[in-house]
């Protein structure tokens, strides 16, 4: 679930960008990642909806600017409708739908690098391009903007977070609500090659009477080699607008 993963972006994909040293400001770096995401929940519906996603992400960083594109291959089983990174539960018949999902295009600008007295500050934006089939998406554009923060408290402990807003477009008689996004987390460098942490994600109500979305996500990140990283995470939903459970991993290559 894209919205619930926003709090993990700084660690699983973007923390390297926020911690790039000043002497690398003129360099051009690129990153590729793939993996698997799994989530299950009722989302106010009559039965569970399961979402399995195999995403492919390509990112380019030049100085303080970062561009990123992600497209997933999806399998959705259940009565729920996948809409802009969230699921709207329903009492429809249980069906299984597979195919390419929506393309997500993102850009971010690093305003300030981390320092002793102030965190790193990054402005980021995201556009969902409706490339999915009608049974796997809304057929509409959606947008999000947020501010990402990252601050090292010591050589081993760092905190991170974000706050933003997501604009969702209603479709086929389903009225979706735009709303606030927020996240916060802590990262601990257990060894020179391993980091562990936990984050919390929040999203204001996106569908009437479903309530707010809140989840907790523990994760682990390994440096496999100089250019390779592997991350894994879990999701534990706190509210009925969140998946009950979820998990996933990313294999990341950075040049």
pLDDT for res 13: 47
- State whether the Cα torsion 234-126-104-243 is positive or negative: positive
Give mean pLDDT, residues 10-16: 49
Residue 8 — very low, low, confident or very high, per pLDDT cuts 50/70/90? low
Residue 212: pLDDT over 70: yes
Q: Please report how many Cα atoms fall inside a 13 Å half-sphere around the Cα of residue 234, on the Cβ side.
A: 8
Q: Summarize pLDDT for 110-160 with one digit per residue, the tens.
A: 999 899 889 999 999 999 999 998 788 889 999 999 999 999 999 999 999
Residue 20 — very low, low, confident or very high, per pLDDT cuts 50/70/90? low
Give mean pLDDT, residues 228-234: 93
pLDDT for res 174: 85
C-alpha triplet 176, 163, 242: angle, nearest 5°: 45
CATH of 2-254, one of 3.40.50.300, 3.60.21.10, 2.40.160.40, 3.40.50.150: 2.40.160.40
Residue 235: pLDDT over 60: yes
Give mean pLDDT, residues 52-79: 93
Out of 17-21, 87-91, 139-143, give the one with best mean pLDDT: 139-143
Domain spans of the chain, in order of start: 2-254
Residue 18: pLDDT over 90: no
């Amino acid at each position: 679930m894209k919205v619930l993963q926003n709090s993990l972006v700084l660690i699983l994909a973007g923390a390297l960008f926020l911690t790039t040293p000043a002497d690398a400001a003129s360099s051009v770096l690129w990153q590729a990642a793939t993996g698997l995401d799994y989530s299950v929940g009722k989302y106010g519906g009559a039965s569970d909806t399961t979402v399995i996603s195999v995403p492919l992400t390509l990112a380019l960083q030049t100085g303080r600017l970062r561009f990123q594109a992600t497209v997933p291959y999806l399998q959705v089983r259940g009565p729920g409708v996948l809409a802009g990174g969230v699921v709207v539960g329903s009492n429809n018949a249980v069906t299984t739908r597979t195919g390419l999902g929506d393309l997500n295009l993102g850009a971010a600008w690093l305003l300030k690098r981390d320092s002793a007295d102030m965190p790193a500050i990054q402005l980021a934006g995201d556009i969902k391009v409706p490339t999915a089939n009608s049974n796997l998406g809304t057929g509409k554009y959606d947008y999000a903007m947020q501010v990402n923060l990252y601050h090292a408290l010591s050589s081993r402990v760092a905190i991170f977070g974000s706050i933003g807003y997501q604009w969702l477009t209603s479709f086929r008689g389903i009225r979706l609500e735009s709303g606030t996004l927020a996240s916060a987390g802590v990262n601990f460098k257990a060894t020179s090659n391993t980091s562990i942490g936990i984050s919390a994600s929040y999203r204001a109500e996106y569908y009437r009477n479903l309530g707010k979305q809140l989840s907790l996500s523990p994760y682990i990140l390994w440096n496999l080699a100089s250019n390779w990283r592997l991350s894994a995470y879990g999701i534990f939903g706190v509210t009925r607008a969140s998946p009950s459970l979820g998990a996933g991993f990313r294999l990341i290559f950075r040049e």
